[in-house]
Amino acid sequence: MSGEYVSRLKRRARGFLEAAEKSRDMDLAAFFIEQSMQLYLKAVFYELFGDRIRGHGIRSLLGALSRSLRKHGYEKISDKIEHFVGEHKRDLALAEEAYTGGRYGDVSYSEEDVKNLMGSAEKLIKLLDEVVKDVKLG
């Protein structure tokens, strides 16, 4: 599995998060946070399973990760991911909305929205790093 590809996606994900922290435009910041979460998830999925997962919905990507982990016997880790989704449902939905709504729609994001999204993104990245550490396949 290409460590270079994984490193590139994770570097880009962290870059989007840093850009979000510096942005004074809350709509762009929300979009950047969504991109960060999406890329980090795709990097971890590829790192674990060697497959490039398609799609952009954060909850769908997390669901695919959870199902794949469960299929490989990692029920507790799968449960942890599902718990995260339930706990951060609002922020994950807001991030997904930022993917299109923040660019093309009538949606605007507040500083509070961005602060909450940032917190969820940081927790997601921490969780995904733990998953990578704990899962040993092949």
CA distance 32 to 74: 31
Which class for 44: exposed (0-12), middle (13-18), buried (19 or more C-beta within 10 A)? buried
> Can you point out the beta strands (E) in 21-119?
none
φ and ψ at 7, to 5 degrees?
-60, -40
CA distance 91 to 50: 28
74 neighbors 49 (Cβ within 8 angstroms): no
Summary mean pLDDT of the chain: 94
Q: What is the mean pLDDT of residues 117-134?
A: 98
For tokens 């994950």, the residue is 92
User: Could you report the per-residue pLDDT of 85-121, keeping only the tens digit for each?
Assistant: 999 999 999 999 998 876 677 889 999 999 999 999 9
Angle at 107 between CA 109 and CA 124, to 5 degrees: 50
**What's domain 3-134's superfamily in CATH?**
Nucleotidyltransferases  domain 2 (1.20.120.330)
pLDDT for 28:
93
Q: Which of 68, 82, 87, 88 is nearest to 135 (CA)?
A: 68
Q: Which of 63, 78, 72, 60 is nearest to 127 (CA)?
A: 78
All structural domains of the chain with their residue ranges: 3-134
Q: What is the mean pLDDT of residues 118-135?
A: 98
Q: Is 0.85 surpassed by the pTM of this model?
A: yes
